[in-house]
Structure 1
Amino acid sequence: MSVKEQAGTTAVVTGVGRGFGRATAAAFVSAGARVVGLGRDVEVLEKLRAELGDAFLPVRGDAADPDLATELLRRHTPATVVLSAGAAPVMRPVQDHTWDTFRANWEVDVRQVFHWVRAALLMPLPPGSTVVAFSSGAALRGSPLSGGYAGAKATVRFLSEYAAAESRRHALGIRFRAVLPALSPTTDLGTEAAAAYAAYQGVAADAFVRAMGPLLTPEKVGEVMVALAADPARDQAQDAVSYTLSAGGLQPV
């Protein structure tokens, strides 16, 4: 499927209220897809509907709700699912976390991906469908100020790998992908993280950001998500399921 062939298909995108999820929804609409966008904030969803038009169907709900995942997959039979919702990690050293702040990303990010990939396999989605889950570069390098975030994002990657193996084992033809984006202060979450790590290292925030080099933007992420969903060549059994994503593009892990 080429990028142009996204026209007339349906994509479900979670976490459309901000950052990479919002940019992904906009990119799929621009590619001609109908987007079912899931978020928690009604006002934000309605603003996005006004911006993107009738091709965007807002749905208010919890992306980690297993019943909602099953309902939306059955109702819309999407060609693409992009799992972008996640908890904003509390930025503090490990000794200053409580268990509640430490586990936040397990309860949202991991629960979401578990329920959606499980529903996609059990339904199952039609052959050629693509399910993309946002992990993080922190899954490879750790993230000492964000509690359980890095471990949760590593588990998101593993879940995608497990689901891809099950799709191959049962000849379902569903593509499962995990994308591990680099830290990017072009989003609210990334700005907060960059500021926290700059302070932790005792450097100015602008100097910390300059040292990062070219920055991954939400617009780049949206473009890559559409291209990734449209590229059947990435469905070969030998190909990677997991990819890092930087300003330079995707690289297999």
Structure 2
Amino acid sequence: MPVSALNGSTAVVTGASGDFGRGVAAALIGAGARVLGVARDPEALEKAGADLGDSFVPVPGDATDPDLAAELLERYAPRTVVLAAGAVPVMLPLQDHTWETFSTAWDTDVRQAFGWARAALRRPLAPGSTVVAFSSGAALRGSPLSGGYAGAKAAVRFVTGYADGESCRHELGIRFAAVLPSLTPTTGHGAEAAAAYAAYEGITTDAFVHRMGPLLTPASVGAAVLELATGQRTDAVAYALSAEGLSPLAG
């Protein structure tokens, strides 16, 4: 399916005021879609709208709210839904976490994935629709400074797979896919995480970043999501995402 297939369609992007969310929104708008950008901070959304133009529609709200998910899917019947919102993990060794800091990603990232997947299946979205959920490369390798983040992101991948299985079982024609981006200091949160891990290992941030090799950027994340949204990649339900692009994951 060519990129032009998105021309005139509607997309929803949660976390649209963040680095990855804005990269995804820009890619979808570039393909001709109208993007409903969801985020909690109205001012950050307005700034994103000023940068992205009239095809970006700010929607202040909490992406974990199941009523908001159901309302937007019912009202706008989007062809593409991208779940890029997520909690910023508190970077501490395990013994310094509380349960509240440890479980933040479960209450945000997993709850969001469940709520939107459930709403998409129950409505259901039209055949040919795509729902992309952001997991993390931490789900594959762990993340010892971020509490329950890695486990929560693994759960996001599982929820996405379950939803895709239900779509197939009921012949709904909705595609669900999870992307697992690698850590990158090209985003604000990624830069903080890289600095924290560098300090944990007793090396400089520059040294830590240097050994990472080519870095994932918000623009390359947007391009990868566009591949999924237009059906250019259909060889898996979950994909690792690095500067080299999407790599299908088994299982």
On whether the aligned pair clears a TM of 0.5, the verdict is yes
> Do structure 1's residue 65 and structure 2's residue 73 form an aligned pair?
no
Could you tell me which residue of structure 2 aligns to residue 196 of structure 1? 196
| TM-score of the pair, normalised by structure 1 | 0.97
Alignment of 1:1-253 (within 5 A): 1-231=1-231, 234=234, 239-253=235-249
Q: Which amino acid aligns with 1:19?
A: D
Distance 1:232 1:187 in 2: 26
The whole-number CA distance in structure 1 between the counterparts of 2:157 and 2:233 is: 20
- Structure 1's unaligned 5+ residue stretches are none
- The alpha carbon displacement at 1:233 in A equals 5.7
Give the TM-score of the pair, scaled to structure 2: 0.98
Distance 2:232 2:236 in 1: 13
Superposed CA offset, 1:72-103 (max 9, x none): 00111011000000000000100000000000
**What code does the residue aligned with 2:240 have?**
T
Provide the rounded CA distance (Å) in 2 between the counterparts of 1:71 and 1:170. 23
Query: SS at the partner of 1:54?
Result: coil
> By how many angstroms is 1:22 displaced?
1.1
Q: Percent identity?
A: 66
SS of aligned partner of 1:216: coil
Q: Secondary structure at the match of 1:163?
A: helix
> What's the CA shift string for 1:112-149, capped at 9, x where partnerless?
00000000000000001000000000001110000000
Q: CA deviation at 1:60?
A: 0.3
1:19 deviates by 1.1
For 1:3, give the aligned amino acid. Answer: V
Change (3 A) 1:232 1:120: farther
Matches of 1:193 and 1:46, distance apart in 2: 27
How many corresponding residue pairs? 249
Shift of residue 232, structure 1, vs aligned partner: 5.9
Q: 1:204 to 1:161 in 2, by over 3 A?
A: same
Contact 2:36–2:57, Cα closer than 8 Å, also in 1: yes
Q: Distance in 2 between matches of 1:19 and 1:45?
A: 12
3-state DSSP class of the match of 2:53? helix
Give the aligned residue type for 1:249.
G
Distance, in Å, in 1 between the alignment partners of 2:233 and 2:189 is: 32
CA separation in 2, counterparts of 1:105 and 1:94? 15
What CA distance in whole angstroms lies between the structure 2 residues aligned with 1:83 and 1:185? 21
Does the 8 Å contact 2:227/2:233 carry over to 1?
A: no
Q: Which runs of 4+ in 1 moved over 3 A?
A: none
- Gaps of at least 5 residues in structure 2 are none
- For residues 147 and 7 of structure 2, the distance between their equivalents in structure 1, rounded to whole angstroms, comes to 41
1:247 partner amino acid: A
Q: Distance in 1 between matches of 2:222 and 2:26?
A: 7
SS of residue paired to 2:167: helix
Query: Counterpart of 2:172 in 1: which secondary structure?
Result: coil
